[in-house]
Amino acid sequence: MADPAYTHAPKPAGATGVLVLADGSVAWGRGFGAVGTAVGEVCFNTAMTGYQEVLTDPSYAGQVVTFTFPHIGNVGTNPEDMESHDVPGSVMGAIGLVVREDVTDPANFRSVEPLQAWLAARGKIGLSGIDTRALTRRIRLGGAPNAVIAHDPDGDFDIPALLAEAQAWPGLEGMDLARVVSREEQDEWEGGIWHLGKGYARSPHDPRPHVVAIDYGAKDNIFRNLVRAGAQVTVVPAETSLETVLTLNPAGVFLSNGPGDPAATGAYAVPVIQGLLERDIPVFGICLGHQMLGLAAGARTIKMHQGHRGANHPVKRHADGVVEITSMNHGFAVDNASLPEGVEETHVSLFDGSNCGISIVGKKAFGVQYHPEASPGPQDSFYLFEKFVGMLG
């Protein structure tokens, strides 16, 4: 559904950025960060804090994030708030962002670099001056659209060419992005959670249960919370074979979050997980990892209309009716109508009733759709890390 505020909107004076949706709608604004163009899916995030963590979450690969909070970038950026192995020149995480207000100079004692310069160094395009309320309503009504985001300091844009690029992009369905954002080498994880004035905690050297974490596009804070809960963590690439995982002698296996279509990633991930379940190895999955576990157990996944992205999503725990306020970032979900016998739904979204957790009967295996490590977000669900590590003996 086209919005009159965007369709065929004439270029205003001073416009140096533009968002061109695949249906032909055009939103003009002021570009910042990297210069150039990028194509992907436009989504929205309702979090009021943590924009750097959001932008470096590998689960946002192939997406332009619209922030509903109007003031983004005002506290700058710093190396401690990275949530991925992002390096200058990479496109790890979101490809761009859309905001309402212009980014002001940083006003925070932790800031090391302004958001504009940080984005430019990483090839990410920013666009300000956009009516983000209208864009968010558009996504809610019509679903997450494909689009091109572009920034040119001279304001020179070939709209028909940008539209053609947006329309030619195939979309996230059927796209395996986990192999694109995953670590390429095995890594022994070091470091615990962050404390103000102290930085990240050092990894303890006492004997701990060994967790092999499969990286489909993980946020680093997940690994920090596994350490906090009492585990020793080895991180392996997304396409690691079952045989390689078993040679590491894990007490349990963690399945991380990540981007793209779970059905596409499942082509190589599901057989590995099924092999782990057959051997009764404890398994815990988050977000894409939760979806991988669901597929391995015989359920289906579906593309959501608009997805869930933010730090204030209420989730009901079936066991006792407790409501957890959670952090989420996903555009696909396990179809709760497809859960086979032997797979129990443990959590459900109070926004739309979609599945947010499963447990496999007779196995030490469970997953949740949301992010219990938060960063940013509430800490209601840390208990899940303790539950998993408690299964490891």
> Which pLDDT tens digit goes with each residue over 23-47?
999 999 999 999 999 999 999 999 9
Task: State pLDDT tens for residues 214-260.
Answer: 999 999 999 999 999 999 999 999 999 999 999 999 999 999 999 99
What pLDDT, on the 0 to 100 scale, is given for residue 205? 78
Q: Sorting pLDDT into bands at 50, 70 and 90, what band is 200?
A: confident
Q: Which CATH class is domain 178-390?
A: alpha beta
What's the average model confidence in pLDDT over 314-340? 97
What mean pLDDT comes out for the span 277-305? Answer: 98
Residue 379 has pLDDT above 60, yes or no: yes
DSSP at 247: H
Q: Which CATH class is domain 17-168?
A: alpha beta
Q: Residues spanned by CATH 3.40.50.880 within the chain? A: 178-390
239 is catalytic: no
Determine the Cα–Cα distance for residues 273 and 212; give it in Å rounded to an integer: 12
Half-sphere exposure in the Cβ direction for 59 (13 Å, CA): 31
**Angstrom distance (rounded) from CA 344 to CA 339:** 7
* Catalytic residue, candidates 53, 83, 324, 373: 373
8 A C-beta contact, residue 212 and residue 281: no
Select from 259, 276, 282, 284 the least CA-distant residue to 367: 284
Cβ-based neighbours of 379, under 8 Å, separated by 6 or more: none
Note if 210 is an active site residue: no
> Does pLDDT of 4 surpass 60?
no
Amino acid 1: pLDDT? 42
Average pLDDT, the chain: 94
Query: What is the rounded distance in angstroms from the CA atom of residue 200 to the CA atom of residue 197?
Result: 9
Where in the chain is CATH 3.50.30.20?
17-168
Q: Which of 43, 53, 287, 290 is catalytic?
A: 287
Whole-angstrom distance, CA of residue 275 vs CA of residue 316: 31
287 is catalytic: yes
